């Protein structure tokens, strides 16, 4: 089952639980707009190459749409263009995947009760194979193609897999050429351009706050438990660091370069330094090498998947699973139109307040509808968007 089919299935189950009529259900499921653009840029060697970009804007009933822009070749097709008598292969992001992620952003912003809808975008490319100047040109051309369809009151992009604060700075600058200075058009931008303090750690920190809330329901705390973390990028590394700081024992970590384990607990600061220096987890002296495929089934109390979805889960031994993939938390609302900036402590306090409140609201839905946490989150999010849709008179 692909990502869109799985997301639609969860949505329809939530719609049945909530008793939504067929007309409203269909209205909530269909994206507001799907955008597909061709982005042709000159490479540093002078040759031309074309990439395909997508932006799916799912729903704006509760506010402007919001979601990341992903640069990644995963789940791609090959599309050929003819340039100067030579074929050039241009991978592009699977539109079903982008559609599913946009829809999920709608429900997630509603669960967190922040005034946004959902969107998602991407360009099928391999960032590591492009120079900085090529990435800049690609980002600017993509922005030129979609600038009239995004904006602070319409759709606010953010970093995602393969993009970062610098990418957002390029989007901000290119967009501002058409619309005047517009720092609020993106979130996740550099601090010097109006970005939010604490943003880099925010998603990983949100994962930790959600973990604390779940464990508290079961009379447990982070310092008493062992953790395995799949994915050691921004989200996974920050979650690991914060769990370690709170006394949790991170006993296994994996990423695309490999996996390491230590039953006595991994020194996360040392592991981060090792990866920054070598670019990989392998050969870290403070842990033993393990097969990356064994991470999800490693013996631990809490499993935290922070990477792309994988098939196997039947043999998971963890007592609790905290899903952190696909940016499940998004505190980017901290960056506002007026440009007021909270200090980092205030950002973290508000993030914890929103995450904890969202968890308890999900639990209430679980008790009301006798369902699991996943369906509790879906019913909470779908119900809030459905109410906004009805109040606006959009169900027809």
Under DSSP, is residue 13 helix (H, G, I), strand (E, B) or coil? helix
CA distance 189 to 334: 12
- DSSP code of 371? -
3-state class (DSSP) for residue 261:
strand
* Residue 94 in tokens: 């699977």
Whether the CB-CB separation of 54 and 92 falls below 8 Å is answered with yes
Distance separating alpha carbons of residues 55 and 123, to the nearest angstrom: 9
Q: Do 167 and 195 contact (CB within 8 A), yes or no?
A: no
Handedness of CA 261, 264, 265, 269 (dihedral sign): negative
* Residue 223 bears catalytic tag: no
Q: Identify the DSSP state of 50.
A: E
Catalytic position from the list 66, 120, 249, 275: 120
Compute CA distances 300 → 41, 101, 229, 265, 281, whole Å: 47, 29, 10, 11, 20
Write the DSSP assignment of 56-97 as a string of letters.
EEEE-SSSSEEEEEEE--SSEEEEEEEETTEEEEEEEE-HHH
DSSP 171-197: HHHHHHHHHS--GGG-SS--GGGTPPT
Which positions are annotated as active-site residues? 120
């Amino acid at each position: 089952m692909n990502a869109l089919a799985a997301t639609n299935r969860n949505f329809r189950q939530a719609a049945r639980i909530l008793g939504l009529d067929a007309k409203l259900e269909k209205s909530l499921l269909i994206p507001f707009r799907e955008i597909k653009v061709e982005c042709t840029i000159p490479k540093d060697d002078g040759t031309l190459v074309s990439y395909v970009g997508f932006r799916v804007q799912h729903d704006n009933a509760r506010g402007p749409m919001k979601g990341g822009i992903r640069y990644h070749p995963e789940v791609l097709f090959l599309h050929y263009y003819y340039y100067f008598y030579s074929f050039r292969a241009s991978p592009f992001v699977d539109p079903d995947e982008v559609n599913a992620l946009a829809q999920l952003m709608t429900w997630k912003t509603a669960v967190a009760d922040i005034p946004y809808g959902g969107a998602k975008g991407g360009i099928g490319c391999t960032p590591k194979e492009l120079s900085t100047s090529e990435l800049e040109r690609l980002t600017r051309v993509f922005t030129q193609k979609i600038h009239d369809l995004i904006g602070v009151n319409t759709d606010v992009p953010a970093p995602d897999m393969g993009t970062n604060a610098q990418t957002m700075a390029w989007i901000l600058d290119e967009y501002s050429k058409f619309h005047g200075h517009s720092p609020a058009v993106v979130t996740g931008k550099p601090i010097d351009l109006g970005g939010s303090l604490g943003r880099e750690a925010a998603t990983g920190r949100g994962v930790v706050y959600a973990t604390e809330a779940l464990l508290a329901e079961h009379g447990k705390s982070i310092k008493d438990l062992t953790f395995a973390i799949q994915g050691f990028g921004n989200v996974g590394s920050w979650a690991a660091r914060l769990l370690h700081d709170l006394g949790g024992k991170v006993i296994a970590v994996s990423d695309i370069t490999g996996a390491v384990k230590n039953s006595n607990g991994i020194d996360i600061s040392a592991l981060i330094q090792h990866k920054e220096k070598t670019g990989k987890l392998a050969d870290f002296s403070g842990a033993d090498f393990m097969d990356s495929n064994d991470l999800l089934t490693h013996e631990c109390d809490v499993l935290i998947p922070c990477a792309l979805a994988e098939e196997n889960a039947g043999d998971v031994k963890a007592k609790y699973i905290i899903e952190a993939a696909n940016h499940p938390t998004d505190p980017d609302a901290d960056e506002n139109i007026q440009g007021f900036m909270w200090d980092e402590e205030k950002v973290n306090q508000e993030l914890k307040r929103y995450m904890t409140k969202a968890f308890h609201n999900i639990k209430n839905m679980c008790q009301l509808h006798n369902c699991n946490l996943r369906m509790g989150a879906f019913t909470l999010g779908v119900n809030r968007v459905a109410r906004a849709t009805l109040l606006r008179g959009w169900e027809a």
